[in-house]
């Protein structure tokens, strides 16, 4: 039985290219993981794990089609619950008392927009961005949220538009996560927060399963550790304010009497399968 995360790799993609590390610029790598669909390398200088060679950006975006929309819409309730648990872990509720003009929130990769809808019904001003146009259209029609169909760069938000930017399981899908962070920095207000949830490649599950780890899939172009995500964030104008991890063993890997104590242990030790990093925008230098 496969426990891997949903992934779609179209039958025909061309033009894959080898890249230098977008975190430190190094062109020196060592082999990390390999599957029949792709291979991942670890940067010899900064340890960032990336798929190399990489598919083209336009081919990646094409993967988020009606099949992906069906997967997201089928699981939207459980995904909302997981995102709310992640926000609870970082104590997001403490920001409910912010003045109204500060309660601006952008969810990048928002799928059908359930999180933004939830926040808008709770007194926030949330918007979404989603490259899957079917999901964006569905969310715009059925939920209380405005979703831009495309990438955050294509949305062309004005400078300092939001006090919070959130993405859950998105940054690992981006060809240039460094430029993605730079754009998030641009659209955040000074002192605003970037809430980034992504798989933790130094977590217990990654160490245990290696290339069979559920996040080693063709759609994941980068797999971050706490160290490499922190490094990239700090290079792009952010300070790390908080890190939380969760997830010891996925559902179906072990019976409950084993899974529950393992889940508690990795959460206490920071070895969880998924991490949430709270990043604060620093003022521009100069």
Q: What structural domains and CATH numbers belong to the chain?
A: 29-281 (3.40.50.150)
Q: Is 109's pLDDT higher than 50?
A: yes
Rounded mean pLDDT of 235-258? 88
Does the structure show a pLDDT above 80 at 253? no
- How far apart CA 130 and CA 150 sit, in angstroms, is 6
Residue with tokens 């002192």: 191
Give mean pLDDT, residues 215-238.
97
pLDDT computed for residue 128 by the predictor: 98
- In order of 49, 65, 110, 127, 128, the CA distances from 155 in angstroms are 29, 19, 14, 11, 10
Residues 129, 286: Cα–Cα separation, whole Å? 31
Q: Are strands 125-130 and 104-108 parallel, antiparallel or unpaired?
A: parallel
Closest to 168 measured CA to CA, from 111, 217, 210, 216? 111
The reported pLDDT for the residue numbered 14 is 73
Q: Output the CA–CA distances (angstroms, integers) from residue 113 to 136, 146, 201, 204, in the order listed.
A: 7, 8, 27, 31
Strand-pairing partners, residue 275, are: 198, 245
Q: Tell me: the pLDDT tens digits for 70-97?
A: 999 999 999 999 999 999 999 999 999 9
The predicted-structure confidence for 8-23, as pLDDT tens digits, reads as follows: 665 567 778 999 999 9
């Amino acid at each position: 039985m496969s426990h891997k995360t949903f992934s779609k790799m179209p039958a025909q993609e061309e033009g894959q290219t080898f890249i230098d590390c977008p975190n430190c610029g190094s062109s020196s790598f060592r082999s990390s993981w390999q599957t029949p669909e792709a291979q991942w390398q670890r940067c010899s200088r900064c340890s960032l794990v990336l798929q190399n060679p990489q598919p083209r950006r336009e081919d990646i975006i094409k993967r988020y089609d009606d099949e992906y929309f069906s997967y997201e819409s089928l699981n939207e309730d459980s995904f909302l619950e997981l995102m709310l648990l992640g926000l609870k872990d970082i104590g997001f509720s403490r920001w409910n008392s912010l003045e109204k003009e500060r309660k601006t929130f952008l969810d990048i990769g928002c799928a059908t927009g359930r999180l933004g809808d939830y926040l808008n019904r709770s007194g926030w001003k949330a918007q979404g961005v989603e490259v899957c146009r079917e999901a964006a259209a569905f969310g715009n029609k059925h939920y209380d949220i405005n979703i831009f169909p495309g990438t955050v760069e294509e949305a062309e938000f004005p400078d300092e538009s939001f006090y919070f930017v959130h993405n859950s399981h998105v940054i690992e899908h981006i060809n240039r996560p460094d430029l993605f962070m730079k754009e998030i920095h641009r659209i955040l207000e000074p002192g605003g927060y970037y809430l980034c949830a992504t798989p933790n490649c130094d977590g217990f599950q990654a160490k245990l399963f290696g290339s069979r780890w559920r996040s080693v899939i063709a759609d994941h172009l980068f797999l971050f550790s706490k160290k490499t995500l922190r490094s990239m964030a700090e290079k792009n104008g952010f300070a790390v304010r908080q890190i939380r991890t969760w997830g010891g063993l996925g559902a179906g890997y072990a019976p409950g009497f084993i899974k529950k104590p393992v889940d508690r242990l990795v959460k206490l030790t920071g070895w969880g399968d998924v991490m949430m990093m709270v990043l604060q925008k620093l003022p521009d230098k100069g």
